[in-house]
Amino acid sequence: MELMIGVVKCLKRNILDVSCRVYTIQVVNYARLAEVGRLETPKSQGKYDTGQLFLHRVFGYRGVVLFPWLARVYDRDIPNKRESNQEESNFNHVGKEVKGRTHTFYQVLIDSRDCPYIRAQTEAVTFLGNQESSRSLYAIPGLDYVAHEDILPYTTTEKQPLQHELFDKFLMYYPDKDPPFGAQETLRAWQKKNHPWLELSDVHKETTENVRVTVIPFYMGCRESQSTSVFWWRYCIRLENLGELTVQLRERHWRIFSLSGTLETVRGRGVVGQEPVLSSSQPAFQYSSHVSLQAPSGHMWGTFRMEREDGYTFDCRIPPFSLESKNEEPTTPAGSN
């Protein structure tokens, strides 16, 4: 048997049960067991095509691939014993001493039935309104970025196996294709139009005390007024507990350096109003936030204060990452926050 996967993931009341014996995927939701498809062997090489159905290896949700991105991954394998006062110098070598390697990520749609049970924000893609005077922030629901190794592909005989408002607009059923869903012109046009704020280019990772932090920054565009220009970025952060002991995020501590010469410190309880617990059964949490600078570039770095179930506390390093603006075409809406 090529595929040896026996996984049970609990997402609140949503239980994903993958049976390697019969290659059948079943989802339990509100105590209802439903077969959604048959598991395929994950690809060790090559890319998944548009229309590929999958289960997320970490968060367990059902999704479909829209298109791939090729990103540079900076993985910092820094020894755990490091003096805390060296944090101040982190921004001086953002992505410099760490050699980036290219890796495939995917823009995907998330099944709306699974969104309430995912330990991740499902409105991670945001952009600014087109009105220059508006400060509104808009979110596209049910979009995510997924690394190649987190894709668990499956097949189904359903013509609309995924519930998402954009599924029928972006994809069409082709019974003779593999996968049997292909891109419509609306998907290609949407990708081209929204490329500036969808593009994923750099991914940063660092592990401290068995807690891995992954950061993906996105340039969102510039808001201009008569007196100033404000540049916006969003950043997506994923925390994963790779150890056996449960840990909880208690505080965040950010340092934000702007090319204008300012250095800002931000401290606070938790993240996005939560203090997530990372356990062996629910080891990951993902969220997005935003930052603005009155300069076209800068850096961010920091720490999360974590508390282990045995009472031990430690600072989990957030890998430093660059905030770089991009040239924007006048006809392209500016992405945001």
For residue range 62-101, list pLDDT tens digits in order.
Answer: 999 999 999 999 998 644 444 444 444 444 445 445 777 8
Q: Which two tokens stand for residue 234?
A: 């969003």
Banded pLDDT at 127 (limits 50, 70, 90): low
pLDDT at 37: 85
Q: Which two tokens stand for residue 107?
A: 């823009």
Rounded distance, CA 211 to CA 1, Å? 33
pLDDT at 139: 72
Least confident range from 79-88, 206-215, 233-242: namely: 79-88
Are the beta carbons of 300 and 254 closer than 8 angstroms? Answer: yes
Banded pLDDT at 6 (limits 50, 70, 90): very low
Residue 319 has pLDDT above 50, yes or no: yes
pLDDT at 222: 85
Banded pLDDT at 334 (limits 50, 70, 90): very low
Most confident of the following: 115-124, 217-226, 230-239: 230-239
Residue 308 has pLDDT above 50, yes or no: yes
- Mean pLDDT across the stretch 49-63? 95
Rounded distance, CA 27 to CA 267, Å? 39
Identify the residue with better confidence: 7 or 319: 319
The answer to whether the Cα torsion of 315, 316, 319, 325 is positive or negative is negative
Rounded distance, CA 112 to CA 244, Å? 31
pLDDT at 135: 55
Give me the residues paired with residue 37 across strands.
25
Please provide the average confidence, as pLDDT, over all residues in the chain: 81
Least confident range from 11-25, 54-68, 156-170, 287-301: namely: 11-25
Q: Which two tokens stand for residue 8?
A: 């049970």
- Mean pLDDT across the stretch 308-330? 87
Residue 9 has pLDDT above 80, yes or no: no
pLDDT at 196: 79
pTM: 0.81
Helix segments in 167-257, DSSP class H: 167-170, 185-198
Residue 25 has pLDDT above 60, yes or no: no
Q: Architecture of domain 7-324 in CATH?
A: Sandwich (2.60)
pLDDT at 24: 45
Rounded distance, CA 198 to CA 172, Å? 22
> How many other CB atoms are there within 10 angstroms of residue 264's CB atom?
13
Domain parsing of the chain, residue ranges: 7-324
pLDDT at 148: 97
Q: Which two tokens stand for residue 291?
A: 């930052």
